[in-house]
Chain A
């Protein structure tokens, strides 16, 4: 009898809790529909064009007259340097900072701390290491956990993880990669990014 009593009490409490939590949900307004675009760009070619422009909003390479635009591109790749469309690099207002995180666990862009490109002080630096004479020799390897957070030329937020500087996003631990004669060509960027089109800092 006693057991039955406690069980019914517990059940009753559970029902109440469930009901109240439902109420709460009903009170909160529906969140705005996220306009998050997540994409992986494979082998962005920085060989054919010495300077390669990229728009996070459209997810495409930018060429021709648009490369002089303040808003039509966000990132500019030139060998191992990555620039943003501002300051010494462009006419726009794009800014960036590097955040230590994995790509997935960075769910919100910081609200402050962004920098424009300036002489000798680019907004994005230290995203790679150069191995020099350590095997694999003379390789450019992206530093893990360096997420580039971009406040784009159109005032939106994006996060970018550079995956590879070599064609085909190869494993850098193989003998093929270590051997300079068989290593895939450099200056082919593979990166993934998430672009929040709704103007918020949320990457969810």
Chain B
């Protein structure tokens, strides 16, 4: 709690006489002007853009008392947070977290050492809004944008001198504090933001002696500046730095303890130059460099010997130019080209590896008649290591009336093989198996052969086919319906056919009986389902809403084997083998067939009191295989479905400049310590935020 006092001090100094407003409080007429940029890489009205897109404003996030990206996304319709030990990522349309691209102001975040990008790395205190596009947008963004894109759009400063402080503190010593200030004139702005996020961690299974989440503290610093030379030329620079230290301490064996520190660092810099050739023709030149590093050093406490030492360093450099040209009022062309250079270096890789790639993309946005908007585009990616990719896309929206818009799209998405799949060179010291990335397999197996560790070769590494990117073909079809200004209803049907999923398979048997694994393009899977969401302003202060998703995600090869009668299970009582029926197959792990949420928001303008209540249900999902057939089918292989209740009450003071808030997450303290690692139980927070603006 010691952080509170200086913050309150700052706020009381600057309280006097500044004009206040809660920036984004808006009436419903304003909603019609809602603009999104992520779906097409150009500003476009939310009602018209022909692909499924969700827009979450900073104001909604604040009313819910949320401060980190994982908290915000966990409450969205059609999104599940997965609790992998390597971090919390999101599942969209049944895809694993590695298949959703995470952007800040349109630029990709890196640092997916195991495919997951830890979402709690990202603060939502300095943002204007979050846009979520579902379905493949590889036609614009390239690799990783197979399930969708989450674009965090940081706030632009208001004119004059502004500033603010915000703090939230509660259960598990979770603390989040932010400070921001900015100055803006007609031609120039500069803004700075700092955030500290820390936690005392928690332990779901105290008997194990290993904390589920160890204590950590992280800092985010973000600076932006922009200068407009004249009407046609402007320059913008943004810099972001994130660092996080985590202290681990756990029991290893016989009352011995290991402890140490893990550090994560992320640095991004992006200068952007915009030039307007004419009102109709605008070019944007963007440079981007991102560096991501982790380092961990865990030692035995008694003799200081190394227990585990790892590092992972990644850099990403890009230059890109995009041109938007409006040929006519109803035809806009977008074209872009870029080059990228990436490097990675890590404990389990033989040496520093590098990639070079180049790409070009094109998009036409055409309104042949006023009601019909057709977007056609494609992107070509050429890469130094894996095969080139072409990702086309066609989307259209048709306004049956001002109130009802139909939308449909078809497109391809892809995900490049990740660094592990290409370069891993790892032998498990305890168990004795080895895993080689595709590029390392030949040399790795030869080396083992020379030292006499290979019993038999199953697949000759020299015959391995070049690893291909995973790819999908996706279809989305839905509508947006606003019959009256109080009601907004969306629905979307989706189907994703995914090919060339990269999986491990044994290529050799070692003399110790263990296998040598490498990576292959193996499986074909598909996901399909429907998602719908509705918001209704029941009467003036009370808004209700709800969302629902039905999802099926199956491995096509397993379905074929079931059809052929080659998949078996055991009767849990008699242990006798039975042939598995199609209806018993539960699909891919961690996919809930049913998820829904219910939302209530009561906003009393007179008193400035806002009450927000959300119920989020996640239906049962398979999380393990216990009958040994490799798939989910028996009841004991599922978790129980569960509901989380989150609530927040806030009151505004001093002409809306000051907000005091109590927030509860997981109010009914649901826990499943064996299965769900990211549910520490009930979390209660107290929060305070103060903002000012002086014109």
What residues on A are CB-neighbors of B634 within 8 Å?
A: 173
Inter-subunit contact A173/B575 (CB<8 Å): no
Q: Quick check: is A145 within 8 A (CB to CB) of the other chain?
A: yes
| Bound complex: CA A103 to CA B572 (Å) | 16
Q: Quick check: is A28 within 8 A (CB to CB) of the other chain?
A: no
User: What's the nearest-Cβ distance from chain A to residue B83, in Å?
Assistant: 15
A100-B568, A143-B628, A192-B576 known; 7 other A-B pairs, CB under 8 Å? A129-B628, A141-B627, A143-B629, A144-B578, A171-B575, A172-B572, A173-B572
What residues on A are CB-neighbors of B625 within 8 Å?
A: 134
User: What's the nearest-Cβ distance from chain B to residue A63, in Å?
Assistant: 27
Q: Which of A9-17, A66-74, A161-169 contacts B (4 or more CB under 8 A)?
A: A161-169
| Bound complex: CA A100 to CA B570 (Å) | 13
Inter-subunit contact B576/A163 (CB<8 Å): yes
Q: Quick check: is B11 within 8 A (CB to CB) of the other chain?
A: no
Q: Quick check: is B352 within 8 A (CB to CB) of the other chain?
A: no
Query: A165's closest neighbor in chain B, by CB?
Result: B575
Identify which of A144, A164, A173 contacts B636 (C-beta below 8 A). A173
What residues on A are CB-neighbors of B572 within 8 Å?
A: 171-173
| Bound complex: CA A141 to CA B624 (Å) | 14
What residues on B are CB-neighbors of A142 within 8 Å?
A: 570, 575, 628
Query: A134's closest neighbor in chain B, by CB?
Result: B624
Binary A-proximity of B546-582 (CB < 8 A = 1, otherwise 0):
0000000000000000000011111011111111000
State which residues 70-115 of A face B: CB under 8 Å.
100, 102-103, 105
What residues on B are CB-neighbors of A169 within 8 Å?
A: 574-575
* 25 A–B pairs (Cβ distance < 8 Å), ordered by A: A100-B566, A100-B568, A102-B579, A120-B455, A120-B511, A120-B513, A131-B626, A134-B625, A136-B626, A141-B626, A141-B627, A142-B570, A142-B575, A142-B628, A143-B628, A144-B570, A145-B566, A145-B568, A147-B577, A164-B575, A171-B575, A173-B572, A173-B634, A173-B635, A190-B575
Inter-subunit contact B569/A144 (CB<8 Å): yes
| Bound complex: CA A135 to CA B624 (Å) | 8
Inter-subunit contact B576/A141 (CB<8 Å): no
Q: Given A144-B568, A173-B572, verify A161-B577 contact (CB < 8 Å).
A: yes
Q: Given A120-B511, A128-B628, A144-B628, verify A135-B674 contact (CB < 8 Å).
A: yes
| Bound complex: CA A51 to CA B625 (Å) | 30
| Bound complex: CA A120 to CA B454 (Å) | 12
Report the 10 A-B pairs with minimum CB-CB distance, sorted nearest first. A145-B568, A143-B628, A144-B568, A173-B636, A163-B575, A129-B628, A173-B572, A144-B577, A144-B570, A134-B624
Q: Given A144-B577, A163-B575, A164-B575, verify A172-B455 contact (CB < 8 Å).
A: no
User: What's the nearest-Cβ distance from chain B to residue A184, in Å?
Assistant: 12
| Bound complex: CA A106 to CA B626 (Å) | 24
| Bound complex: CA A169 to CA B573 (Å) | 9
User: What's the nearest-Cβ distance from chain B to residue A95, in Å?
Assistant: 19
User: What's the nearest-Cβ distance from chain B to residue A151, in Å?
Assistant: 21
What residues on B are CB-neighbors of A143 within 8 Å?
A: 628-629
Identify which of B569, B573, B579, B628 contacts A171 (C-beta below 8 A). B573
User: What's the nearest-Cβ distance from chain B to residue A192, in Å?
Assistant: 8
| Bound complex: CA A102 to CA B629 (Å) | 13
What residues on A are CB-neighbors of B566 within 8 Å?
A: 100, 145
| Bound complex: CA A164 to CA B634 (Å) | 17
User: What's the nearest-Cβ distance from chain A to residue B505, in Å?
Assistant: 15
Identify which of B577, B628, B636 contacts A103 (C-beta below 8 A). B577
What residues on A are CB-neighbors of B627 within 8 Å?
A: 141, 144
Inter-subunit contact A145/B577 (CB<8 Å): yes
| Bound complex: CA A103 to CA B577 (Å) | 7
| Bound complex: CA A120 to CA B567 (Å) | 28
State which residues 622-662 of B face A: CB under 8 Å.
624-629, 634-636
- Chain B residues touching A, range: 20 to 34
User: What's the nearest-Cβ distance from chain B to residue A131, in Å?
Assistant: 7
State which residues 121-146 of A face B: CB under 8 Å.
128-129, 131, 134-136, 141-145
| Bound complex: CA A10 to CA B516 (Å) | 67
What residues on B are CB-neighbors of A144 within 8 Å?
A: 568-570, 577-578, 627-629
User: What's the nearest-Cβ distance from chain A to residue B565, in Å?
Assistant: 8
User: What's the nearest-Cβ distance from chain B to residue A132, in Å?
Assistant: 10
State which residues 586-613 of B face A: CB under 8 Å.
none
Query: B455's closest neighbor in chain A, by CB?
Result: A120
User: What's the nearest-Cβ distance from chain B to residue A133, in Å?
Assistant: 10
A: residues with CB less than 8 A from B are 100, 102-103, 105, 120, 128-129, 131, 134-136, 141-145, 147, 161, 163-164, 169, 171-173, 190, 192
What residues on B are CB-neighbors of A105 within 8 Å?
A: 579
| Bound complex: CA A173 to CA B569 (Å) | 13
| Bound complex: CA A120 to CA B566 (Å) | 28
| Bound complex: CA A191 to CA B99 (Å) | 45
Query: A137's closest neighbor in chain B, by CB?
Result: B674
Inter-subunit contact A161/B576 (CB<8 Å): yes
What residues on A are CB-neighbors of B578 within 8 Å?
A: 102, 144
What residues on A are CB-neighbors of B568 within 8 Å?
A: 100, 102, 144-145
| Bound complex: CA A135 to CA B566 (Å) | 25
User: What's the nearest-Cβ distance from chain B to residue A188, in Å?
Assistant: 13
| Bound complex: CA A135 to CA B626 (Å) | 8
Query: B633's closest neighbor in chain A, by CB?
Result: A144
User: What's the nearest-Cβ distance from chain A to residue B212, in Å?
Assistant: 14
| Bound complex: CA A105 to CA B576 (Å) | 13
Identify which of A102, A134, A147, A192 contacts B626 (C-beta below 8 A). A134
Inter-subunit contact B628/A173 (CB<8 Å): no
User: What's the nearest-Cβ distance from chain B to residue A163, in Å?
Assistant: 4
| Bound complex: CA A142 to CA B572 (Å) | 12
What residues on A are CB-neighbors of B574 within 8 Å?
A: 163, 169
Inter-subunit contact B624/A145 (CB<8 Å): no
| Bound complex: CA A120 to CA B453 (Å) | 13
What residues on B are CB-neighbors of A171 within 8 Å?
A: 572-573, 575
What residues on A are CB-neighbors of B579 within 8 Å?
A: 102, 105, 145
| Bound complex: CA A172 to CA B455 (Å) | 35
| Bound complex: CA A147 to CA B566 (Å) | 13
User: What's the nearest-Cβ distance from chain B to residue A185, in Å?
Assistant: 16
| Bound complex: CA A141 to CA B572 (Å) | 11
| Bound complex: CA A190 to CA B574 (Å) | 11
Identify which of A102, A128, A172 contacts B577 (C-beta below 8 A). A102
Query: B624's closest neighbor in chain A, by CB?
Result: A134
What residues on B are CB-neighbors of A136 within 8 Å?
A: 626
User: What's the nearest-Cβ distance from chain B to residue A71, in Å?
Assistant: 30
| Bound complex: CA A182 to CA B362 (Å) | 65
Inter-subunit contact B626/A173 (CB<8 Å): yes
Binary A-proximity of B427-458 (CB < 8 A = 1, otherwise 0):
00000000000000000000000000001000
What residues on A are CB-neighbors of B455 within 8 Å?
A: 120
| Bound complex: CA A112 to CA B450 (Å) | 35
| Bound complex: CA A163 to CA B571 (Å) | 10
User: What's the nearest-Cβ distance from chain B to residue A203, in Å?
Assistant: 15
| Bound complex: CA A142 to CA B566 (Å) | 16
What residues on A are CB-neighbors of B674 within 8 Å?
A: 135
| Bound complex: CA A145 to CA B635 (Å) | 19
User: What's the nearest-Cβ distance from chain B to residue A78, in Å?
Assistant: 15
What residues on B are CB-neighbors of A172 within 8 Å?
A: 572, 575, 626
User: What's the nearest-Cβ distance from chain A to residue B416, in Å?
Assistant: 30
User: What's the nearest-Cβ distance from chain A to residue B508, in Å?
Assistant: 13
User: What's the nearest-Cβ distance from chain B to residue A181, in Å?
Assistant: 12
Residue from the set B567, B578, B627 with the largest chain A CB neighbour count within 10 Å: B627
What residues on B are CB-neighbors of A100 within 8 Å?
A: 566, 568
What residues on A are CB-neighbors of B576 within 8 Å?
A: 103, 161, 163, 192
| Bound complex: CA A141 to CA B568 (Å) | 14
Query: A125's closest neighbor in chain B, by CB?
Result: B513
Query: A135's closest neighbor in chain B, by CB?
Result: B674
What residues on B are CB-neighbors of A103 within 8 Å?
A: 576-577
| Bound complex: CA A131 to CA B625 (Å) | 9
What residues on A are CB-neighbors of B511 within 8 Å?
A: 120
